[in-house]
């Protein structure tokens, strides 16, 4: 487990050659070494475990394990969102080494596209949601201006203007030239 967690392929190789049980599951996360390596985007460890120990995650379970939990702490383990389909594509094609940043490129492009839109603070947030968000030090809920109905546009209310100004966002729509 530790070697998969730390992406130490040479230690995994040594352990497998000396009869280590590759099917053991971690007590806190209930993941085996292969799932742990994939979850942490440790490609070399996952590649070695797949090639030498025949470990894999069935296609129908991949989305639940690797996509829907991205960017969350699950069972004490922070799991980043990454392009797991590309990860498994490289595993299927037996590519030995891959740069780790490649698996974040799709997510990075989606984030850049999202940030390029005209984002404003969502004024539909309830006070209960605001208190929970503030307690957790989370940022404001942002939505594209065009997705908000006219009555919830931030320039229509004092709260909308205030929350946008406090978060460094212009509450008024841009004038089309």
pLDDT of res. 57: 87
Give the residue among 48, 57, 168, 39 at the shortest CA–CA distance from 96.
48
Instruction: State how far the Cα of 71 lies from the Cα of 81, in Å rounded to an integer.
Output: 5
CA–CA distances in Å: residue 25 to residues 4, 22, 58: 12, 9, 16
Residue 130, classified by CB atoms within 10 Å of its CB into exposed (0-12), middle (13-18) or buried (19+), is middle
What class does CATH assign to 2-110?
mainly alpha
Output the pLDDT for position 74: 65
Written as one string, the DSSP assignment of 88-125 is HHHHHTT-----GGGGGHHHHHHHHHHHHS-EEE-TT-
The pLDDT assigned to 69 comes to 65
Q: What is the pLDDT of residue 10?
A: 93
Mean pLDDT of successive 10-residue segments in the chain (177 residues)?
91 93 85 89 94 90 76 68 90 91 90 90 91 91 92 90 90 75
Q: Cα 35 to chain center, whole Å?
A: 15
pLDDT attached to residue 177: 45
pLDDT at 54: 92
- Residues with Cβ within 8 Å of residue 81, at least 6 apart in sequence: 67, 70, 71, 107
| Alpha helices, H only, the chain | 2-6, 9-17, 33-39, 43-53, 59-62, 84-92, 105-116, 127-135, 158-166
Copy the structure tokens of residue 5: 């967690």
Taking the whole predicted model, whether its pTM rises above 0.85 is answered as no
Distance CA 38, CA 43 (A): 7
**Boundaries of every domain in the chain:** 2-110, 117-166
């Amino acid at each position: 487990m530790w070697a998969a967690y730390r992406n130490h392929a040479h230690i995994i190789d040594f352990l497998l050659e000396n009869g280590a049980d590759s099917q053991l599951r971690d007590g806190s996360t209930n993941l085996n070494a292969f799932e742990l390596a994939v979850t942490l985007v440790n490609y070399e460890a996952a590649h070695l475990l797949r090639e030498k120990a025949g470990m894999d995650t069935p296609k129908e379970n991949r989305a639940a394990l690797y996509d829907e939990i991205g960017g969350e702490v699950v069972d004490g383990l922070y799991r980043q969102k990454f392009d797991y389909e590309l990860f498994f594509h490289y595993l299927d094609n037996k590519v030995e080494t891959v740069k780790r940043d490649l698996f974040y490129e799709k997510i990075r492009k989606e984030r850049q596209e999202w940030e390029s839109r005209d984002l404003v603070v969502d004024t539909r947030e309830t006070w209960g949601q605001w208190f929970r968000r503030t307690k957790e030090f989370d940022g404001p809920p942002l939505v594209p201006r065009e997705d908000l109905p006219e009555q919830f546009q931030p320039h229509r209310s004092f709260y909308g203007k205030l929350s946008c100004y406090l978060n460094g966002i212009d509450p008024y729509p841009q004038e089309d030239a």
